[in-house]
């Protein structure tokens, strides 16, 4: 059975593979932008996974996460003026970089795209980050997005998780007890291990076997936002 350190070594090897791929892309004439962004995003995910695993085993992940953010921002900045950049760039990962920058008290100059109305999940993610970073409360505009996601059985856990995130923020604004809602958030995260949507997504979201390796970084950002004094594996302590 692999240890957390084994997984860290695996992601270090993967990071090097994608770094080599990024260097190779410099010599391409076709698909250069697409493949460059792909490798940059994979390097970012590998670096985040190393930091998240360190976090889960209670090692200080801050330097590793700053490394992930810094490299991601630096490499994307070289490409953002190119035509079709936004076509290939993953807006979820831009928000993710901003989440981790918030945790690490780092400035992030990656601009979050405005709403993409055809992507209901992204609409909700967009408003969640804004609710945290700009001290704004729940937005009625996303009720339609929540409604559409809730209609899909595949997205039931997504719906429950994001609903819970907003409930924690709302309870904080109203000076209500938070412990029960945070316990629910922790329970919802463990359900990702057996959820097809999360299991087929990015490793950093904790689907399938990754559930025991990482933490819920969105919950971590919320706990920092509300200055949570309790204990949680998802709490940022650095």
Q: Which domain holds residue 174?
A: 114-238
Q: Say how far apart CA 169 and CA 215 lie, in whole Å.
A: 19
Same domain, 138 and 189: yes
Read off the pLDDT of each residue in 167-190 and give the average, rounded to a whole number.
Answer: 95
Please check whether residue 192 is in contact with residue 211, taking contact to mean a CB–CB distance below 8 angstroms: yes
State the pLDDT at residue 150.
Answer: 65
* Domain co-membership, 106 together with 126: no
Q: Both 17 and 83 in a single domain? A: yes
Question: Among residues 60, 91, 112, which one ends one of the domains?
Answer: 112
Q: Quick one: which H or E segment has residue 52?
A: helix 32-56
Residues 176, 218 within the same domain:
yes
> Looking at residue 212, what DSSP letter applies?
G
Q: How many residues does the chain have?
A: 238
Per-residue pLDDT reduced to its tens digit, 44-96: 999 999 999 999 999 999 999 999 999 999 999 999 888 788 778 888 999 99
Most confident of 7-11, 116-120, 149-153: 7-11
Instruction: Please say whether the beta carbons of 48 and 69 come within 8 A.
Output: no
Q: DSSP string of 58-121?
A: T---HHHHHHHHHHHHHHHHTTTTSTTHHHHS-HHHHHHHHHHHHHHT----PPPP---TT-HH
181: left (phi over 0), alpha (psi -120 to 50) or beta: alpha
Quote the longest CA-to-CA distance of the chain. 58
Task: Let me know whether 153 and 212 are in one domain.
Answer: yes
Look at the chain and report how many structural domains it folds into. 2
Same domain, 23 and 126: no
Contact (Cβ atoms closer than 8 angstroms) between residue 198 and residue 168: no
Specify whether 95 is located in the same domain as 182.
no
Residues 146 and 120 reside in one and the same domain: yes
Instruction: Indicate if 89 and 21 belong to the same structural domain.
Output: yes
CB 160 within 8 A of CB 124: no
* Stated pTM of the model: 0.93
DSSP 8-state class, residue 151: T
**DSSP secondary-structure letter at 26?**
T
Is residue 219 located within the same domain as residue 122?
yes
Is the Cβ–Cβ distance between 18 and 39 less than 8 Å?
yes
Task: List pLDDT tens digits, range 125-160.
Answer: 888 998 898 755 555 566 667 667 766 777 899 999
Q: Identify the domain boundary among 86, 112, 138.
A: 112
**Rounded mean pLDDT, 91-120:** 86
Query: Same domain, yes or no, for 133 and 164?
Result: yes
42 and 136 together in one domain: no
Q: Which of 79, 112, 145 is the last residue of a domain?
A: 112
CB 167 within 8 A of CB 215: no
């Amino acid at each position: 059975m692999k240890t957390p350190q084994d997984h860290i070594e695996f992601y270090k090897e993967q990071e090097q593979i994608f770094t080599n791929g990024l260097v190779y892309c410099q010599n391409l004439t076709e698909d250069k932008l697409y493949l460059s962004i792909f490798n940059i995003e994979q390097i970012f995910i590998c670096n985040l996974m190393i930091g998240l695993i360190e976090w889960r085993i209670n090692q200080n992940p801050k330097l590793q996460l700053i490394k992930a953010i810094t490299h991601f921002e630096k490499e994307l900045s070289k490409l953002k003026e190119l035509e079709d950049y936004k076509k290939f760039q993953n807006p979820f990962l831009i928000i993710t970089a901003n989440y981790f920058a918030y945790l690490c008290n780092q400035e992030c100059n990656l601009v979050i795209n405005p709403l993409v109305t055809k992507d209901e999940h992204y609409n909700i993610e967009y408003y969640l980050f804004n609710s945290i970073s700009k001290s704004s409360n729940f937005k009625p505009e996303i009720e339609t997005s929540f409604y559409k996601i809730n209609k899909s059985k595949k997205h039931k856990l997504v719906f429950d998780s994001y609903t819970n995130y907003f409930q924690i923020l709302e309870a904080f604004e109203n000076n209500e007890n938070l412990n029960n809602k945070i316990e629910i958030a922790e329970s919802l995260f463990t359900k990702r291990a057996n959820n097809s949507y999360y299991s087929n997504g990015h490793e950093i979201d904790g689907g399938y076997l990754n559930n025991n390796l990482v933490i819920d970084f969105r919950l971590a950002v919320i706990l920092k936002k509300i200055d949570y004094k309790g204990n949680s594996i998802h709490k940022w302590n650095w």
